[in-house]
Structure 1
């Protein structure tokens, strides 16, 4: 399985996807046409055009999955990119179009998968560690399960000087772990994961990522870290609070 999972698609001072250009070029080497999944935003055509403009610089043509039979297009795709936006809207569309199963099968058969933000959320077993507002209701939180752990894109560290009194991202993920025994990787801006079969590596900027596990203190990791052991981590959902 070949995955490139970006925390974000736009970085300060960079055009769309430009901060990860080299990683994207490596990931899609040899790909002539990319299937783009634009369902996280309302303007499917406009979103597809934006992706096509970037991919054209890499010599890759882009087709939106909304322009034909989604399942048939997925079955024939050389590679797939699922873009960011609202993850609830995206997952609802994946279920209603039959793409959850179709994309899972195609990626398992060897097609490279790339996701950014909400598209990275889709690679997890469920939607449960997204940051988004539930503007629509998907029929299920079940996602593509291309990795057996959860990811929190756009991870933000607690800011002690902030006057905001709501939960920090760390507190929200801790609450998730009170009910679920599943590792959660908080991907900071400018970071991404690269999976090549049984190897998983953290890449991107020096800020790196933060790993949360049930019953343990968060762990910090920097670019170049081998996180392959997460691919074998057992995921147990809805186990309830840990007993003491």
Structure 2
């Protein structure tokens, strides 16, 4: 049974890195103490793989688990195959997906997660769990072979969702950008995750976590509100 924790971002309000989501992670990984997490650092463009690995190790030291970046393995796929848990960090989604293709990780991750290996990711790491990365907020600073992602969550995810426009901002709002996506892709569903929220996936059900509601947008921007702490079939 699929088990995933898809987190909007690494921080919420004034919290430090990955602090707000640690209660969720401790509950989600309760049966995996002292196990090994394979961490995928590819999205961290402004830091090296070593630096990103160390940052996550320090932030999640309280989980009492071994966190090792996949770049430590001769073939990155081997780290996924040997992992008890898979974690994917945030950053630039295009860089992340490009390297996932280059290192042949997509199918390896799908196989592991469909067999029951827990997966958690934040920001870009949540986005790539969906059907495609076409609803990322990031600039395409590089080109993956395809926008098709893991499709473990068979819909679109938009992390860091903010409704409306800031005063003085004359560019498109997030709703306007998602409306454009749904005009071109009218059969899709987009799950918009405000800051401080997450989706916890158990099989074919999902639970909304956090203090804010999650929104689901469909064709013509029809909106469904998913209240915090509610469970639904996706």
TM-score, structure 2 normalization: 0.94
Tell me how far apart the structure 1 counterparts of residues 10 and 221 of structure 2 sit (CA, whole Å): 31
Tell me how far apart the structure 1 counterparts of residues 114 and 213 of structure 2 sit (CA, whole Å): 27
Deviations 1:116-171 (A, max 9, x none): 00000110111100000011111111110111110100001013x62211111001
- Residue number in structure 2 paired with 1:136: 142
TM-superposed CA distance for 1:13, in Å, is 2.2
Is 1:81–1:113's contact at 8 Å kept on the other side of the alignment?
yes
- Runs of 4+ aligned structure 1 residues displaced above 6 Å come to none
Counterparts in 2 of 1:74-223, with a 5 A limit?
A: 74-159=80-165, 162-180=167-185, 181-205=187-211, 207-215=212-220, 217-223=222-228
Unpaired segments of 5 or more residues in structure 2?
Answer: none
TM-superposed CA distance for 1:115, in Å, is 0.7
Tell me how far apart the structure 1 counterparts of residues 140 and 221 of structure 2 sit (CA, whole Å): 29
TM-superposed CA distance for 1:216, in Å, is 5.0
SS at match of 2:176: helix
Is 2:8–2:194's contact at 8 Å kept on the other side of the alignment?
yes
Residues 167 and 104 from structure 1, CA distance in 2 versus in 1: closer, same or farther, beyond 3 angstroms?
same
Deviations 1:26-60 (A, max 9, x none): 11123211110000013111111111112221211
Tell me how far apart the structure 2 counterparts of residues 169 and 216 of structure 1 sit (CA, whole Å): 12
Tell me, yes or no, if structure 1 residue 73 matches structure 2 residue 79: yes
From 20, 39, 43, give the equivalent of 1:40. Answer: 43
TM-superposed CA distance for 1:197, in Å, is 1.2
The range that moved more, 216-225 or 137-146, is 216-225
Q: RMSD of the TM alignment (CA)?
A: 1.2
SS at match of 1:153: strand
SS at match of 1:215: helix
TM-score, structure 1 normalization: 0.90
SS at match of 2:30: coil
Is 2:182–2:221's contact at 8 Å kept on the other side of the alignment?
no
Is 1:55–1:61's contact at 8 Å kept on the other side of the alignment?
no
Q: What number of residue pairs does the alignment pair up?
A: 227
